[in-house]
Structure 1
Amino acid sequence: MVNVPKVKLNNGNEIPLLGFGLWKVTENTADVVYNAIKAGYRLFDGAFDYGNEKEAGKGVKRAIDEGIVKREELTIVSKLWNTFHEKERVEPIVRQQLEWWGLEYFDVFYVHFPVALQYVDPKDSYPSGWQNLEGKVVQSKATIQETWTAMEHIADLGLAKSIAVSNFQGALLMDLLRYARIRPALLQVEIHPYLAQTELVEYAQLEGITVNAYSSFGPQSFIELKWDKATECPPLFQHPVVGAIAEKHGKTAAQVLLRWSTQRNIIVIPKATRADLVLQNLESLTFDLSPEELKQITALNRNLRFNNPPDYLGVLHIFA
């Protein structure tokens, strides 16, 4: 079994450098999580928006019940969806998500996006998505400060060991740090060679905030969604620079892309359902890229963002 190093957060907690992403894991979710735990994964990145927390929790419970792992050995992550940003809505939905998972606490709980939307009762729509019940995207008046104060309350209650932010850019993160009583432990953002976000990574790490990359394979996850931006883009798995480096090390392109991040202390959370790929992702930690190879991969940057709300909603220019 691959030994996955741990990253120490700014609050003293430690989490694995490589984990398992649960976005789009909608079939046999409990089995996928259970088998990933058996393979050696200890970090699972979930969210309200993924709509699979109850099933993921079943996989965790099965592994714990069978003695494969102890709860304290796992890092379970979830996120606050946009429709629960008002201060009075944060604690109830966190408790609901914990109930779905069958847990007493989350190890990390993120603000999923820096945008507050009109409340939708999960009993009426789960996951609620971006639109209200009339199919419209309607913003609410909750500020980031209001939401973060409620997140701090979650931490005070012990419902989350670490609180964090996702999809925040530099200026917004700077503003948050001015009033935060509890500093965010992590920043989760889209990072891959086509969107290197080097300056944002440097800034966050300078502030002692650990960076967690999602969509490490660039367009790969979005090709399945048939988004033009992804289907018209050269796949990173087939890029000659990545391929040459992979061949030199006797590794796959996916392993090179993951190592490009983890070697710079950026956490990655790839998703895989095939048993061989589940193990291959873990084995990305078993070799090192040279400084020159890291530079060659970073030089592929195109500032090409795939998870950009205006592309699929027509509104909410979060990254403008």
Structure 2
Amino acid sequence: MPLVGLGTSGLEGEKAEMLIREAIKQGYRMIDCAFLYGNQEQIGKAINKVIKEGLVQRKDLFIVTKLWNNFHAFERAKQHIMDNLKQLQLDYVDLMLIHWPTSFDGKIGDPNTPPDHLETWKALEWAHKIGKVKSLGLANFNHKQIDHVLSGAKIKPVVLEAEMHPYYQQKKMKDYLKKNGMALIAYSPLANPGN
């Protein structure tokens, strides 16, 4: 996994395609995507163009995407993984994360119905087994939520993506991840206005 990646939140339309293409030309190899960002089709077009042009090979890139909150159930998660690949126009991604530990799949009218992270995790393991996802991870989970996934995972998460910057250094989380053999991907490394 490259040390520096390009987050794609906020990139829109043709601008997204142009910026991804230029970032790859300038040496970026990790592209961090998500269904939520609404731009995976443009990102996929850019990736496929630079590959066709011979600027990089697919194996040179490290593509990350995330499973969104509406898909915290085994069958729905499986379908969403395949939908992400279709949007990105890729045969596989290098890293798939559960974007948030929260779910919008609860019983209608009951916002307190918690998702079953292990059921969702099994869908990621399925995608890994069939070669659609190379590595699995989590985003924005706390210690207890990670422990729950670790308790039932056949394939352990290799990474946690979380906000981290000089104003929010997350020392306890970094120590916890190190103890559990997980890496940390920091987002908003220069802080996030409004947070």
> Taking structure 1 as the reference length, what is the TM-score of the superposition?
0.58
Higher RCO (CA 8 Å, separation ≥ 6 residues): 1
Structure 1 runs of 4+ aligned residues shifted over 3 Å read: 136-142
Please say if 1:203 is aligned against 2:156.
Answer: no
Please say if 1:103 is aligned against 2:90.
Answer: yes
CA distance in 2, matches of 1:69, 1:139: 46
CA distance in 1, matches of 2:161, 2:110: 23
Aligned match for 1:54, one of 41, 63, 75: 41
| Contact persistence 2:101–2:115 (CA under 8 A) | no
Q: 3-state SS of the aligned residue for 2:42?
A: helix
1:159 Cα deviation after fit:
1.0
- Report percent identity of matched pairs: 34
Report the AA paired with residue 51 of structure 2: I
Report 1:1-320 matches (<5 A): 15-27=1-13, 28-118=15-105, 138=111, 142-219=115-192, 222=193, 230=194, 306=195
1:171 Cα deviation after fit:
1.8
Q: Specify whether residues 216 and 64 from structure 1 end up closer, same or farther in structure 2 by C-alpha distance, changes over 3 A only.
A: same
Judging by fraction of residues, say which structure has more strand: 2
Deviations 1:91-121 (A, max 9, x none): 11111111111100010000000012138xx
Report the AA paired with residue 203 of structure 1: Y
Deviations 1:116-168 (A, max 9, x none): 2138xxxxxxxxxxxx9xxx894655311111112111111111000100001
Q: Could you tell me which runs of 5 or more consecutive residues in structure 1 were left unpaired when the two chains were aligned.
A: 1-14, 120-131, 223-229, 231-305, 307-320
Superposition RMSD in Å: 1.7
| Contact persistence 1:118–1:139 (CA under 8 A) | no
Number of equivalenced pairs:
193
Q: 3-state SS of the aligned residue for 1:79?
A: strand
| Contact persistence 1:115–1:139 (CA under 8 A) | no
CA distance in 2, matches of 1:55, 1:20: 15
Q: Could you tell me which runs of 5 or more consecutive residues in structure 2 were left unpaired when the two chains were aligned.
A: none
> Taking structure 2 as the reference length, what is the TM-score of the superposition?
0.93
Larger radius of gyration: 1
